[in-house]
Chain A
Amino acid sequence: MTGPAPTLTGRYLLVLDDTLVDDEEAAWDAVRAVTGGEPVAVFPGLGIAVVDRLPEDGAGPGVRVDDPRVLAVEPERRVRAISVDRAVEYIDTAELTWGLQATAVATSARTGRGTRVAVLDTGLDLGHPDFAGRAIQAKSFLTGVETVQDGLGHGTHCIGTAAGPLTPGEGRRRYGIAADTELFVGKVLTDAGTGTDATILAGISWGLESACTVVSLSLGANVREVSAVYEAVGRRALAAGTLIVAAAGNNADRSAGNPGFVGVPANSPSILAVGAVDQRLGIADFSAGSSGVDGGQVDLVGPGVAVYSAWPRPRLAATLSGTSMATPHVAGIAALVAEDTGATGSALWSQLTSSALGLGLPVSDVGAGLVQAPGASEEASL
């Protein structure tokens, strides 16, 4: 004999007629009469009773019990608190980074097929074995630099998180999210890690004209004031169906009492700002908090401490921390959600925030919470 489905307790809720509300004795009498036994609990003020069993004569959930005092019957559900147990700490396993576990990427059926993700950064190590054979669109926006070859590592690491393969080589654990997205690598930062608005904007423009689902910016300036230019760009991008996500910034020093502030371009209202959480899903010490400027709020958080991802040859992998690492988690998951729902632009933004895992932490630090990948495949959920 099988037990109740995993989300039900096996008990039933009876909805009692309004005439029984606040009449405790009458409510108890009604339940005894209907079930032939004692209720588990009666809430007279609500007119609800909890019972272990229903009468043997075939009454069940959804079936109206043949007594006018009982309006409805439904199975009792098991519920879970939304708050996070912060005693739990995620760790990298041999197969998966902690971040892919915490964001439910590991159990998602989606890999970003049919989507396009642009990562604008220092480029990619084009010879990295984990990207061998991957069709990549590449463009450098730096004067005099023809290739997107990454001479620093930051770009390779971010691209690894956003779009790395399901099965990396040589025993490397999976670190990437949208393994089947069409990858657009824009080199907007030099190998010294510097860039200007001109190069970044040119990269964003390429992302839009390439019909990218997401443009990921793990970069910014520690400027509190919102840039009217980036806000217009974010707005026009959303209208064109491209979601721009950007790092909130690392200018906080929370253990010293400094919450930092979200800088440009993440502080644009139309650009999704990403903060960082650690393996206990607590806010990272460096993760910039909402600045109070309109648009300067953190919208989501992603895994941003001790993030394992790709690195240029010969090292091939590295573990870094930063809102730079959290941002491509959101970018990659946005591609999964776009594949899952067909949503783009503002609708995609809404999907991401409404499906985020609430962390019970201040909204000014984590926005809607920890980004989550779309659900497991049907097989996995049975």
Chain B
Amino acid sequence: MNRVRISVCVRDDHLDVIDEVVRRLEGVGVEVGEVLRPLGVITGSAPAPGWRAIGQLAGVASVEAQREVRLPPPDADVQ
């Protein structure tokens, strides 16, 4: 099954119960990578089908697919 790397932003009002949100995510098949408590963000991967529905879970403010960042080649004129 395809998976999507995601970032989940926890709602302000759930920051103090972030571990509940983690369990809820695991309950829908998310493999949690990091729980970044100072940010209130959880990163990991989700099953690809219907991953956006994670945004509807209690305590979740938003969910996004992770972007890849790439610097210009080392010999490029502009960095």
Mark A residues whose CB is within 8 Å of B. 122, 152-154, 157, 189, 193-198, 200-202, 204-205, 208-209, 218-221, 223, 227-229, 232-233, 236-237, 240, 250, 264, 286, 320-322, 324-325
Assess the B66–A240 pair: CB atoms within 8 A. no
Contact residues, B52-71 vs A (CB, 8 A): 61-62, 64, 66-71
Query: What is the distance, in angstroms, from B41's C-beta to the closest C-beta of chain A?
Result: 6
How extensive is the interface on chain B, given as a class? 20 to 34
Q: How far is the CA of A233 from the CA of B37 in the complex (A)?
A: 11
Nearest to B34 among chain A residues (CB) is A202
> Which of A153, A195, A201, A321 counts the most B-chain CB atoms under 10 A from its CB?
A201
Assess the B64–A196 pair: CB atoms within 8 A. no
Main secondary structure of the interface of B (DSSP, over half): strand
Given contacts A193-B70, A197-B67, A198-B7, contact A204 B39 (CB under 8 A): yes
Interface status of B50 (Cβ within 8 A of chain A): no
Q: How far is the CA of A315 from the CA of B27 in the complex (A)?
A: 52
Assess the A228–B38 pair: CB atoms within 8 A. no
Which of A153, A193, A223 is the one whose CB lies under 8 Å from B67? A223
Assess the B79–A229 pair: CB atoms within 8 A. no
Given contacts A189-B71, A236-B39, A250-B78, contact A198 B9 (CB under 8 A): no
Interface status of B33 (Cβ within 8 A of chain A): yes
Q: How far is the CA of A335 from the CA of B32 in the complex (A)?
A: 35
Which of B41, B62, B70, B71 is the one whose CB lies under 8 Å from A201? B41
Assess the A194–B67 pair: CB atoms within 8 A. no
Assess the B69–A201 pair: CB atoms within 8 A. no
What 1/0 mask marks residues of chain B from 4 to 41 whose CB sits below 8 Å from any chain A CB? 01011100000000000000000000000110111111
Query: What is the distance, in angstroms, from A144's C-beta to the closest C-beta of chain B?
Result: 14
Given contacts A202-B43, A205-B38, A208-B39, contact A196 B78 (CB under 8 A): no
Assess the A240–B9 pair: CB atoms within 8 A. no
Q: How far is the CA of A193 from the CA of B68 in the complex (A)?
A: 10
Assess the B5–A198 pair: CB atoms within 8 A. yes
Report B-chain residues with C-beta under 8 Å of the C-beta of A157.
79
Nearest to A237 among chain B residues (CB) is B39
Which of B33, B39, B69 is the one whose CB lies under 8 Å from A233? B39
